[in-house]
Amino acid sequence: MFGNGEAVTHSACSNGSVQTVNGNLEEKLDELRLLMGKVDGDPLRIVGVGAGAWGSVFTAMLQEAYGGLREKVLIRIWRRPGRTVDRALAKHLFEVINSREDVLRRLIRRCAYLKYVEGRLGDRVLYADEILKDGFCLNMIDTPLCPLKVVTNLQEAVWDADIVINGLPSTETREVFEEISKYWKERITVPAIISLAKGVEAELGPEPRIITPTLMINQATGVPIENILYLGGPNIASEIYNKEYANARICGAEKWRKPLAKFLRQPHFIVWDNGDLVTHEVMGGLKNVYAIGAGMVAALTNESATSKSVYFAHCTSEMIFITHLLAEEPERLAGPLLADTYVTLLKGRNAWYGQKLAKGELSLEMGDSIKGKGTIQGVSAVKAFYELLSQSSLNVLNPEENELVAPVELCPILKMLYKILIIRESPVEAILQALRDETMNDPRDRIEIAQSHVFYRPSLLGHQP
């Protein structure tokens, strides 16, 4: 099966004229409005739920692109009220503001500057939702965004939304969308939901399988899976907002994924579409598992490129092995999955977390939600994948010992990460021991094991057997 080639898209900046910019963007917006049945005078309502770095950037990019077309689209973001900005962060924020002339001018013009002076001096407590209105995301203070419409009441935010962007960590997705479903009881139209969440959970009964954020949303709200899509790809949110060239992939049913890919695409943010929702969403979670280990290795070996490559060889072979359990045609994931892994290992929150643990600057007792960084999704994903792959009902043949073993026995890095992060019986340094175990197989052997047997278990992703 061929994926569809993207048709040539007219570049909004190709002739540099304002008219073309307006015409092209408005045209894309109109197409989406038409598809959703919006008539004149009835704006398309897009809501970002959750204000982590990527959720905030995503919403801000939409606001910047389409916010000028006020009669046709309204964009807002929900976050919980009450989160305070501590003194050190307020000081840093003040420095950021004063170092950016454009930001400083904007705040002065909107009569919104003096509260930051007061925050800097400790005379006033700032809150995350109020600074977000001015474009400051608590997890990404160094990268000011455009001003956003921030709503702290969930019902008010989502009750009439046409498109909801799930920017929550997976660990909060079910809870928040269960609340959202109360407000949607009497809805007539069915909204479209795009999820950015990368974490996963494992469900062990009646049979072991992975629960993805899109499935959580489907279960919580009853919105058909056809209307729920996953947007994945490597993303360093601040770089994407700063117009670094990036690729992403929107996965889901054909009805929505193509028009949404077109709508979301920008000159520096290319969005491809793909029909395989579940596998891409799961792989998005899997790479975060190994990103934590990569950070540990980088810190413990003082950024040794050679040690990083040893780690990469082993973790990619484990990931490939796991994809053979989860996907019917896993080879198709090899390139994109590993490329996403590349950036996740190189720079990202999960790798950063692994580095901090290894340097002793963070400890496990502090939990996996870090101030200034957000939720480290890889931690819960380690638990999910480990528990899933430990089930004896999934046993595979270990070719060395010629006996049946749980799949996790062939994934020494995953096992070690579980011991370090979850049951905490091993120190961070143990990740190096796992790598340097002379009895560890050539990672190519693991790939050959995966490819020489039929391992695919449709039930793991809830597919019909």
What six digits make up the tokens of 50?
């959750």
Q: Provide the pairing of β-strand 246-251 with 228-232.
A: antiparallel
Active site residue 287: yes
What part of residues 339-358 is at the interface with a copy of itself (CB under 8 A)?
339-340, 342-343, 346-348
What part of residues 287-316 is at the interface with a copy of itself (CB under 8 A)?
301, 304-310, 312-313, 316
What six digits make up the tokens of 277?
């929702």
Specify the DSSP element, H or E, that contains 293: helix 277-300
Q: Can you tell me which of 94, 441, 456, 459 binds a copy of itself, judged by CB under 8 A? A: 441
Is residue 24 part of the contact set for a copy of itself (CB under 8 A)? no
116: closest CA among 141, 139, 140? 141
What amino acid occupies position 61?
Answer: M
Q: Are 166 and 173 in contact (CB under 8 A)?
A: yes
Q: Can you tell me which of 452, 454, 464, 465 binds a copy of itself, judged by CB under 8 A? A: 452
Please report the sign of the dihedral spanned by the C-alpha atoms of residue 341, residue 346, residue 350, residue 354: positive
- Measured from the CB atom, the residue of 152 and 398 that comes closer to a copy of itself is 398
CB of 10 to a copy of itself, least distance (A): 9
Is residue 335 part of the contact set for a copy of itself (CB under 8 A)? yes
- Residue 221 gets the label, from left (phi > 0), alpha (psi -120 to 50) or beta, of alpha
Collapse the DSSP code of 366 into the 3-class scheme (helix H, G, I; strand E, B; otherwise coil) and give the result.
Answer: helix
- Measured from the CB atom, the residue of 202 and 450 that comes closer to a copy of itself is 450
Q: Are 259 and 245 in contact (CB under 8 A)?
A: no
Is residue 96 part of the contact set for a copy of itself (CB under 8 A)? no
Residue that has been written with the tokens 């419409």 in this structure: 149
Is residue 1 part of the contact set for a copy of itself (CB under 8 A)? yes
Is residue 264 part of the contact set for a copy of itself (CB under 8 A)? no
Measured distance CA(373)–CA(352) in Å, rounded: 9
CB of 273 to a copy of itself, least distance (A): 9
Which of the residues are catalytic?
287
Residues that bind a copy of itself (CB under 8 A): 1-3, 5-6, 8-9, 11, 234-236, 239-240, 244-247, 249, 267, 270, 272, 274, 301, 304-310, 312-313, 316-317, 320, 329, 331-332, 334-336, 338-340, 342-343, 346-348, 399-400, 432, 435-436, 438-439, 441-449, 451-452
